[in-house]
Amino acid sequence: MSIYKSAVNKPITTLMVFTAVVVMGLYSYVNLPVDLYPEIDPPFISVMTTYSGASAADIETNITKRLEDALNSVDKLKEVTSTSSDNLSVITLEFQWGANLDEATNDVRDVIDRIYDYMPEDVDRPTIFKFNTTMMPIVFYAITAKESYPGLEKLLDEKIINPLNRIDGVGSVSMIGAPHRVVYVEADPRRLDAYNLTIEQIGSMIAAENLNMPSGNVKMGYMDYSLRVQGELAESRQLEDLVVGNFNGTPVYLRDVAEVRDSLKDLSLEERINGQTGLRLFVMKQSGANTMKVAREVNKNLELLKKDLPPDVEISLIMDTSTFIRGAIQNLSETLMWAFIFVVLVILLFLGRWRATLIIVLTIPISLIVSFIYLFISGHSINVISLTSLSIAIGMVVDDAIVVLENITRHIERGSSPREAAIYATNEVWLAVIITTLVVVAVFFPLTLVGGLTGIMFNQLGWIVTITIVTSTLAAITITPMLSARLLKLRPTKEKPGRISHSRLILPLLDKLDDFYVASLRFALKRKRLILLLALALFISSFGLMRYIGTDFLPESDESSMSVAIELQTGTRVEETIKTTRKLERLLQERYPEIEIMASSSGADDEGSMFSLFRGTGSNIINFMMRLQHVEERQRSVWEIADDLRAQLATYPEIVTATVSTSTGGMGMGGSNTVDIEVYGYDFDQTNRVAEQIRKKLADVKGATDITVSRKNDKPELQVVLDKEKMALHGLNSATVSTMLRNRISGLITSQFKEEGDEYDIRIRLEESYRNSISDLEEITVVNPMGKKIKLREIARVEEYWGPPSIQHKRKERVVTIAVRPQATSLGELAANVQAVVDEVDIPQEVLVQIGGAYEDQQESFMDLGLLMLLSLILVFIVMASQFESFTMPFIIMFSIPFAFTGVILALFLTGTTLSIIAGLGAVLLIGIVVKNGIVLVDFTNLIRDRGLKLNEAIIAAGRSRLRPVLMTALTTILGMLPLALSQGEGAEIWRPMGITVIGGLVFSTIVTMIIVPVMYGLLARTGERDKVMKLRRKFSHLD
């Protein structure tokens, strides 16, 4: 028994099967995580190696180069980049998308094991670090405090961070710019010399005094006591009373030679929130956790935890990636709802019957819900891509049901019982329905095979559309006939239809449309060649417009947040940097009322937190993070504000470079939208010169902003040049001298001060006034093994020196990257301009200049898209050729595809949209939809010819009868996309191009298809059918 017959005969079973599917779908929906984009595991592995005391150049030759050479052999490696800076080498390995990173990590580890023995002795074992999008913080809070500021670190750690860490899904919670408590012991070098003491002696005395020591057990009578020596300091002030030495028989107390300060650590990084002292707290989620849920839980818990904090501590949200996601998802869900409503309206308009509309519309939720089951099983999330896929599918899933229902209605109207009509009418069309579905699948399935970054986005779309379309076909041949058998009945045509009835108002209009179409079709069929030439001319001239359409990688979106990275002259001390920060804060507050909250950090956290891996830090660096008002609440877009800010920043002479960036989300998705110019070459001076030339010329290029050069200016250093001979004379060596210097300047930590379970460093060093000039440095006393005091100037010179702070490599060669961001222009155009600039520059032979960055990704993605389109076309051709058992018919149908692209180009041109991957994707989708229309038309023309009509009559009859179904499917898809194209809210910029392309392409190609396909049919299929009859006649002529 056939599937549709069983479905009609067993309505309860059918209903239950679909109920089961819907229930499972809803279960999956509830459990699906919500995210902005599909989870991306960027194929990056970093190898970090520390080699204390080595300069950037040493690191480059001894560590980076060797590791790079060895790692180059790892499988599936795409590119190696590295940065060698003082003490640290970071190598980033980029693998091909889709490579198994676990395997790659093992390979990398093997390589490191092999080479480790050949590296310098003091090198720490390299650490392998796998980057993941989930490591990016999901929520940022600004915390300000007045009186409680000094104790804020401990307070937050206990009251906020620990409870938050316990929330399910929270990976870690960290602070930036928290004030650390340190006990400083600052010695006066002259007094030290006078009392014959050294920093090291003081250090060992403090370490020796500040300790608790278990000293064994003592048995007394019945008891067993454990004996302890309790020497630990209970208060930091007790340090002052420590006896550190003896002079002329009197004890020397610590207070005699040094000052004890129980205080906050010296300023190297200053955090301000809206200009107030404070710090930033950020939360990272665990891999695979639901961003929205974690952020919601964190926010909720924080509200409760706030109550335990002192009243002067205030917590406010700076950035919550989940709000953007929530906004975007909500927006898209609304879009989906509107699409649904439009589709229902279109069906109702054409059919004019409530029950029929209900039956068709029911396939929408069923098919869409099934895609949730797919998402759940495959471990994906609900995101922009999956929801967009659903909006694309929504107009297509009803097509099959419409065809089936139409045939059933025809049977019922002829007088069959609904039950039988349902069975036999479905029997007549089910094969045709499956074949049109196959065509759509032929277009979408290749999407699941695309690799690379593009693939991550398109695979999901391919699967979702394929699954929903297949489900909709299944539903169309089971639940649609089943419900038709139950719900439809023969409706007598009313003698006098009501005044506002469907048959009075809409049918005449539709009939008029039919007549108009037939008239124009007749006109066209009489002038086939002229029409064809016109169409070709239109197609070719549309490519002329192509020049005016820019290309982009991914459209940027207004996420209501901005960040600014400012670099002052290298070597600027943090106190000076802070002055600039204050100025800028005032500017921002006055000029941009849109800013709701602003966090600034000046300088660098010398602890080197994980966060500093992602940003440049240094005492001359200022970072701003700002949250703006909601998109709807402000007049200026984030780009307008950013442009204005760039112009403002350019007026400050102290600012060397400033980068204003407007994207926070979409991390890893080519988050930077830049054209990179890579200058390869070994010689620093040469490459610097070329880079500088390019940079200067770029400044004049229209649309080029945020020009940044990756190689930082040489930074000033003070070098202590030791005289080996003199050192040897005093029995000293470089190691002892450098350690002693370090103890005096940076400080010696030999012991910790304990209070309430927390430990604070006791840092012993010279007082600042004795170590802030070159002559002070030269006055520093070092002690030789014989106890003789020697001034540094006796054995060394202190020299000023300029050194490169870091050396970057790409593909194992030294490189300088100049990154340019497009402003009011497209990426493709900018890349062309940049290329022109590069061509002008006189480049020495040893230097190689290349263009890369997001532009490179864009080129790769377009390449992928092109291949994809080709694959789709071939598959569609295969399906159609076998369906029609002809090579002509697919050709006739595919002739309409170019006009879809003409429509796309027109739509992009008229709306001023750039051609991004998203728009390109829209173009690929069009192939499926356009071809489907063509098939419907050609198939029916064939059928009518088979039934004995003449060519032209058959074409016209088929056109007349298929006009409504084609218009209906086209309208459902167009209106389904309309909300996408018009949406204005958060994240709309991402998918608007898709809506625009599909609508433009579809409107244009539907009109053209309905004329061009019949015309082509008239031209090409003229003899085909007639020949068949003639052939048959010849074969059996002997019978006549």
Determine, following the binding rule CB under 8 A, whether residue 431 of this chain makes contact with another protein. Answer: yes
d(CA 1034, CA 1040): 10
Assess contact for 183 and 760: CB atoms under 8 A.
Answer: yes
Q: Least separation, in Å, of the C-beta of 435 and another protein?
A: 10
Question: In whole angstroms, how close is the CB of 414 to another protein at the nearest point?
Answer: 5
**Could you tell me the smallest distance in angstroms from the CB atom of residue 948 to another protein?**
10
Between residues 371 and 407, which has the closer beta carbon with respect to another protein? 407
Under rule CB under 8 A, residue 75 binds another protein: no
Contacts of 718 (CB under 8 A, 6+ apart): 774, 777, 798, 799, 800, 801
Which of 806, 613, 556, 563 lies closest to 132, judged by CA?
613
Interface residue with another protein, options 193, 200, 240, 420 (CB under 8 A): 420
- By the 8 A CB rule, do 981 and 902 touch? no
CB of 415 to another protein, least distance (A): 4
Choices 150-158, 421-429, 497-505, 645-653; region in contact with another protein by CB under 8 A: 421-429
Closest separation in Å from C-beta 940 to another protein: 10
Measured from the CB atom, the residue of 279 and 405 that comes closer to another protein is 405
In whole angstroms, how close is the CB of 409 to another protein at the nearest point? 13
User: Minimum distance from CB of 962 to another protein (Å)?
Assistant: 15
Measured from the CB atom, the residue of 1 and 12 that comes closer to another protein is 1
What are the structure tokens assigned to 104, written together? Answer: 């790659």
State residue 311 phi and psi, 5-degree precision.
Answer: -65, -25
20 vs 1032, beta carbon nearer another protein:
1032
Q: Is 411 in the site for another protein (CB under 8 A)?
A: yes
For 309, list phi and psi in degrees, rounded to 5.
-90, 155
Region binding another protein by CB under 8 A among candidate stretches 56-64, 424-432, 832-840, 1010-1018: 424-432
Closest approach of Cβ 463 to another protein, in Å?
31
CA–centroid distance for 870 within its chain: 27
The piece of 75-83, 396-404, 420-428, 591-599 that touches another protein (CB under 8 A) is 420-428
User: Which one, 91 or 429, has the nearer CB to another protein?
Assistant: 429
In angstroms, the CA 959 to CA 938 distance is: 9
Whole-number Cα distances in Å, 883 to 141, 328, 1017, 1025: 61, 41, 17, 16
Decide whether 388 or 407 has the Cβ nearer to another protein: 407
User: Measured from the CB atom, is 529 or 947 closer to another protein?
Assistant: 947
Segment interacting with another protein, rule: CB under 8 A, options 414-422, 513-521, 800-808, 864-872: 414-422
CA 903 vs. chain centroid, Å, equals 30
- Please, which residue, 427 or 823, has the CB nearer to another protein? 427
Q: Is 421 in the site for another protein (CB under 8 A)?
A: yes
Q: State the number of binding residues for another protein (CB under 8 A).
A: 18
Residue type (1 letter), 209: E
Task: Specify the residue, 89 or 409, whose C-beta has the smaller distance to another protein.
Answer: 409
- Among 432, 900, 977, 1011, interactor with another protein by CB under 8 A: 432
Least distance from another protein to the Cβ atom of residue 936, Å: 13
- What number of residues does the chain have? 1040
Of 423-431, 658-666, 682-690, 1030-1038: span binding another protein (CB under 8 A): 423-431
Q: Cα 272 to the chain's mean position, in Å?
A: 28
Q: What angle do CA 226, 232, 236 make, to 5 degrees?
A: 160
DSSP calls for 744-767: HHT-EEEEEEEETTEEEEEEEEE-
Q: Is 686 in the site for another protein (CB under 8 A)?
A: no
* CA nearest to 470, candidates 377, 28, 31, 478: 478
Whether the Cβ atoms of residue 253 and residue 242 lie closer than 8 Å to each other: yes
Among 419, 634, 814, 962, binds another protein (CB under 8 A): 419
Burial class (CB within 10 angstroms; exposed 0-12, middle 13-18, buried 19+) of 505: middle
Asked whether position 846 contacts another protein by CB under 8 A, the answer is: no
Tokens coding 510: 């539709």
Footprint on residues 939-968 left by another protein (CB under 8 A): 942-943, 946-947
328/322 Cα distance (integer angstroms): 10
| Residue (152 or 936) nearer to another protein, CB | 936
The C-alpha atoms of residue 761 and residue 606 are separated, in whole angstroms, by: 15
Which span (20-28, 418-426, 599-607, 840-848) binds another protein, by CB under 8 A? 418-426
CA distance 752 to 183: 9
Stretch that binds another protein, among 50-58, 410-418, 652-660, 727-735 (CB under 8 A): 410-418
Of 419 and 765, nearer to another protein (C-beta) is 419
User: In whole angstroms, how close is the CB of 885 to another protein at the nearest point?
Assistant: 11
998 binds another protein (CB under 8 A): no
Which helix (H) or strand (E) segment is 585 a member of? helix 574-591
CB 646 within 8 A of CB 582: no
Nearer CB in complex with another protein: 511/946: 946
Closest Cα partner for 188 from 782, 769, 741?
769
Check residue 424 for interaction with another protein (CB under 8 A). yes
**Sheet arrangement for strand 758-766:** 258-264, 181-187, 758-766, 748-755
* Closer CB to another protein, 326 or 419, in the complex: 419
Least separation in angstroms between residue 8's CB and another protein is 12
Nearest distance, CB of residue 412 and another protein, angstroms: 9
Query: Alpha-carbon distance 709 to 603, whole Å?
Result: 20
- Assess 427 for contact with another protein (CB under 8 A): yes
Instruction: Report the C-alpha gap between 761 and 533 in whole angstroms.
Output: 85
Two tokens at 815?
């490189």
Residue span binding another protein (CB under 8 A) among the ranges 412-420, 505-513, 547-555, 839-847: 412-420
715 binds another protein (CB under 8 A): no
Q: How far is the CB of 440 from another protein (least distance, A)?
A: 19
Stretch that binds another protein, among 51-59, 102-110, 413-421, 977-985 (CB under 8 A): 413-421
Shortest Å distance, C-beta 421 to another protein: 6
The CA–CA distances, whole Å, from 124 to 129, 269, 774 equal: 15, 27, 32
CB of 876 to another protein, least distance (A): 20
Pairwise CA distance, residues 781 & 195, whole Å? 13
Determine the Cα–Cα distance for residues 868 and 462; give it in Å rounded to an integer.
11
Mask 741-770, x = binds another protein (CB under 8 A)?
Answer: ------------------------------
Residue 307 or 947: the one with the smaller Cβ distance to another protein is 947
Cβ-based nearer residue to another protein, 237 or 414: 414
CB 396 within 8 A of CB 973: yes
Place of tokens 């499926």: 928
**Span from 425-433, 825-833, 862-870, 981-989 in contact with another protein (CB under 8 A):** 425-433
Residue 428 found at the interface with another protein (CB under 8 A): yes
Q: Which is nearer to another protein, 428 or 759 (CB)?
A: 428
Position 414 contacts another protein (CB under 8 A): yes
- CB-neighbour burial class of residue 31 (10 A; exposed 0-12, middle 13-18, buried 19+): exposed
Instruction: Return d(Cα 278, Cα 281) in angstroms, integer.
Output: 10
Residue 1022 backbone zone (phi > 0: left; psi -120 to 50: alpha; other: beta): alpha
Question: Of 735, 737, 679, nearest to 709 (Cα)?
Answer: 679
Binding site for another protein (CB under 8 A): 411, 414-417, 419-421, 424, 427-429, 431-432, 942-943, 946-947
